[in-house]
Structure 1
Amino acid sequence: MIRLDDVQLFVQTVDAGSFSAAARLNGVTPAMASNAVQRLERELNVRLFVRSTRSMRLSDDGERYLPHARAMLASVAEGTRSLAEGRGEITGLLRLAVPSDLGRNVLLPWLDAFQAEHPGITLQLRVSDRTADLHRHPIDAAVRYGVLEDSSLVAQPLLPDNRRVACASPDYVARHGAPAHPDDLREHNCLCFVLGELVHDRWTFALPQGSCTIKVTGNRVSDDGEVTHRWGLAGHGVIYKSRADIAHDLATGRLVDLFPGLGELAPLSLVSAHRTQLTPAVQRLKEFLRERLARDVA
């Protein structure tokens, strides 16, 4: 008889890329994860993986079985959720991806509060500024900035009027002066964010006469949004951040908004790969985050 735990370890091994990584997710040894997959292979009478001393990949049979294994796990999870909803509960695994700065400094305590309200939810959190492929990675929803380039994704607005803010610490402004116009940023040390190989060094502002894009330069660049945030707080230069990331710093005076209301729009959304992932947990999280963002940021 096929054991559901073995099917789950098979799928997790595919997603994680190795038995050892799948084992860590389940708190078991790599040998136990490998044994589970071998047991499943015996029940199915096929080889699910092609193994060598240096690599492991899905076999043709493994490729054929994988979507059925995912469907099996999804069906069991959906049945469990349905029963819980009948009792007025929200339960199950919620796999969420969030940006680095927003995730660590804003969302993390909110997610603690969300789980306290819904203790039946198991949260699997991915914190990274790299854009996850929601069609390939096992993620239920992702918090993302900007207008979506992939029209097949399902986006639920969290903070549609969010804007970027050119800001600096009071100490930096005292030493270097405040720019009177976005053009003046060319004379300032601007700390940039890089995603992949693209440096975001062209900052756009919504001026009364139309949008204006400024090419900025600086002596520090990072691929982590939280790092640029910390550099700005430390007085190393001007940063261009989402208001959602820095609302508390603006409110407490740790950062100064250099051009109030002129930053480009950076709408914040909760994004899923398809509508089947808009589970009660995802929908409840959307409402929870919208309320917090409207209260603390907007």
Structure 2
Amino acid sequence: MIRLEDIRLFVRSAALGSFSNAAREANLLPGQVSAAVQRLERELDKRLFARSTRSLRLTAEGERYLPYALEMLEVVQAGAESLHSGDEAFSGELKISVPSDTGRNVLLAAITAFCEQHPKLTLRLALSDRISDVFRDPVDVAIRYGVLDDSSYVALPLAQDNRRVLAASPDYLARYGRPESLDALASHHCILFTINGHAWDRWPFDTEEGPRELKIHGRLISDDADVARRWAVAGMGIVYKSWIDLYPDIAAGRLEILLPQIPGQAAPLNFICPHRRQFSPAIRGLYRQLQQALSEMTGRR
């Protein structure tokens, strides 16, 4: 008889590409994970992985079986959650990945309040600007900017009309003046941050003449978008970031919007879950809470 736990370990091994990584995640020994997969292979009478000393990859049979294994796990989870669909006392663990700046300065209060409202729920929060792979990384929800190209994600909109804006501190503008055009940015100090290891040094805009992309040079570059925002607040230069990220500083007068007549790049904020995953009551509750928290600032754009 096929064991549900063996299916679960097969799925995680396929996602992580390693019995050792799957074992570490499940707090097991690598040999226990290997034995579980071997049991599953015997039950199916098919080899699911091609193994070598350096790699682990799915066979053609493993590739065909994986979607059904995922669906089995999802059906079991959905059945369990349906028994508690009317119970607002959420429990269990919820793993969330959020961009650094948005997580710390915009959404942390709402996420903390959600945790306080549901004391039986454990939240594991990861703050990172890396594009999270919700299959490979063990997360239940990934909150990310941008238009999604991958149809294997299920996404709910948190702020569809959000855009990037240019901003600088009053102190910076007093010292260096206010740029009157996009071309004038070439003579200003611009602050850059990296995305997936690459400096985001091409800033796109939607001008009246059509889309335009500027090649930006700056002496301040960080792999943390929150640091870029802090440098702008400190008067170190001009930053080009999401309106949502800059809203608290703009509302408090720490930053001012530049060239507001030129629309910045669209930056919709999405609430992402794995493909075909049933949205649990806890995930739906978190989505409503974050939507409400963002509604005021997006309405002020």
Q: TM-score, normalised by structure 1?
A: 0.78
How has the CA–CA distance of structure 1 residues 36 and 108 changed in structure 2, closer, same or farther, with 3 Å as cutoff?
Answer: farther
Q: 1:88 to 1:202 in 2, by over 3 A?
A: closer
- Please report how far the alpha carbon of residue 150 of structure 1 lies from its aligned counterpart in structure 2 after TM superposition: 5.5
User: Kindly tell me: are residues 12 and 82 of structure 1, through their superposed partners in 2, closer, same or farther at Cα, counting changes over 3 Å?
Assistant: same
In structure 2, the CA distance between the partners of 1:50 and 1:122, relative to structure 1 (3 Å rule), is farther
Shift of 1:140: 5.2
How does 1:47-86 map onto structure 2 within 5 Å? 47-86=47-86
Compared CA separation, residues 63 and 138, structure 1 to 2 (3 A): farther
Residue type of the alignment partner of 2:288: E
The residue that corresponds to 1:270 in the other structure is 271
| SS in structure 1 of the partner of residue 267 of structure 2 | coil
Alpha-carbon offset, residue 242 of structure 1 = 0.9
Q: Which structure 2 residues correspond to residues 72-111 of structure 1 after superposition, within 5 A?
A: 72-90=72-90, 94=94, 96-111=96-111
Equivalent residue runs for 1:123-142 within 5 Å: 123=123, 125=125, 127-132=127-132, 141-142=141-142
1:229 corresponds to 2:209 = no
Indicate the residue corresponding to 1:293 in structure 2. 294
How far does the alpha carbon of each residue in 1:81-111 deviate from its partner, in whole angstroms, 9 at most, with x for none? 0001144554566554433321343334432
Q: CA deviation at 1:131?
A: 3.6
Query: Deviations for 1:17-53, whole angstroms, at most 9, x for unmatched residues?
Result: 2122222322334344334334444554544322222
Q: 1:69 to 1:275 in 2, by over 3 A?
A: closer
1:175-214 equivalences under 5 Å are 175-195=175-195, 199-204=200-205, 213=212
The yes-or-no answer on 1:245 pairing with 2:272 is no
**Helix, strand or coil for the counterpart of 2:185?**
helix
The answer as to 2:26 corresponding to 1:23 is no
Other structure's SS at 2:285 match: helix
Partner of 2:145 in structure 1?
Answer: 145
Tell me what 2:169 maps to: 169
Q: Hey, what's the Cα distance between the residues in 2 that align with 1:170 and 1:286?
A: 35
Provide Cα deviations, 1:185-233, integer angstroms capped at 9, x if missing partner.
2210112344455734234266xx6778462432234454234223323
Following superposition, the deviation at residue 184 of structure 1 comes to 2.5
Three-state SS of the structure 2 residue aligned to 1:84 is coil
Residues 204 and 152 (structure 1), Cα distance of their counterparts in 2 relative to 1, 3 Å cut:
same
Shift of 1:257: 2.8
- Cα 1:106–1:138 change in 2 (3 A) is same
SS of equivalent to 2:28: coil
CA distance in 1, matches of 2:84, 2:114: 17
Identical aligned residues as a percent: 47
Matched, 1:282 2:283: yes
Equivalent residues of 2:193, 2:228 under 8 A apart: yes
**Residues 191 and 220 of structure 1 are in contact (CA less than 8 Å); yes or no, is this contact kept in structure 2?**
yes
1:116 paired with 2:116, answer yes
Counterparts in 2 of 1:119 and 1:79: CA distance versus 1, 3 Å: farther
The alignment partner of 1:85 has SS state of coil
Q: In 2, are the aligned partners of 1:81 and 1:90 still within 8 Å (CA)?
A: no
- Structure 1 286/210 Cα, relative in aligned 2: closer, same or farther at 3 Å? farther
* Cα separation, 1, equivalents of 2:8 and 2:273: 22
Compared with structure 1, are the counterparts of its residues 93 and 210 closer, same or farther at alpha carbon in structure 2 (3 Å cutoff)?
A: farther
Partner of 2:156: 156
1:12 is matched with: 12
Contact 1:142–1:271 (CA under 8 A) maintained in structure 2: yes
Distance 1:123 1:65, change over 3 A: farther
SS of the equivalent of 2:53 reads: coil
TM-score with structure 2 length normalisation? 0.78
- Secondary structure class of the residue paired with 2:189: coil
Of 182-191 and 273-282, deviating more is 273-282
Q: 2: distance between equivalents of 1:154 and 1:64?
A: 21
Give me the CA root mean square deviation.
3.6
Give the secondary-structure state (helix, strand or coil) at the position aligned to 2:157. strand
Report the count of equivalent residues. Answer: 296
**1:289 Cα deviation from its structure 2 partner:** 0.8
Deviates more, 1:181-190 or 1:169-178: 169-178
Structure 2: any 5+ residue segments left out of the alignment? none
